[in-house]
Amino acid sequence: MDNFFFDLGEYLNKYSYYKTCEVAKRFNVKPIENITKLEQKIMQNIISRCLMSYNSTGDNLDLIGVFLYEESEQTGEVKDFNGINISISKTKAIIGMSTNLLTAPAMYQYSVFLHELCHLSEREHNENFVKRFNDVLYNFFDMNS
């Protein structure tokens, strides 16, 4: 497994891809340990575009790593999701992206990743989450129009 880092922004703590995968395994998620350079490039594009927009909202980020997974290899609810947020502690989380997300239309990719980023500040799908997600999405489309 390559021990590379995704660029998660200037002020974020970062886990290497290897460490992020090891953490995901502790939460019974099966990450893809060896991803291709193309997969890395697509993931980094999604991450950087979404973080640029999300960071401009002034919210504190606790994202420390991102990993890729194959939905069909998962058990439980994870096998039905294109993105997941795993809370490691009250101050740290990692985000997983499904391989299906990498071939989806760009706007869908960004929407799913932004959705998972919003879980960094609001864990549940409640009214506060919906408001946060709508604000972040509006900001993203405003910055990218």
Q: What is the mean pLDDT of each run of 10 residues along the chain (145 residues)?
A: 78 85 94 94 93 74 89 83 87 91 95 92 90 91 80
Strand order from edge to edge, sheet including 93-98: 63-69, 93-98, 83-87
DSSP state of 65: E
Task: For residues 38 and 60, give the distance between their C-alpha atoms in angstroms, rounded to a whole number.
Answer: 30
Model confidence, pTM: 0.91
Q: Distance (Å, rounded) from C-alpha 40 to C-alpha 74?
A: 21
Q: What's the rounded Cα separation, in Å, for the pair 63 and 47? A: 11
What are the residue boundaries of the structural domains of the chain, listed by start?
Answer: 17-143
SS3 19: helix
CATH 2.130.10.10 matches 17-143: no
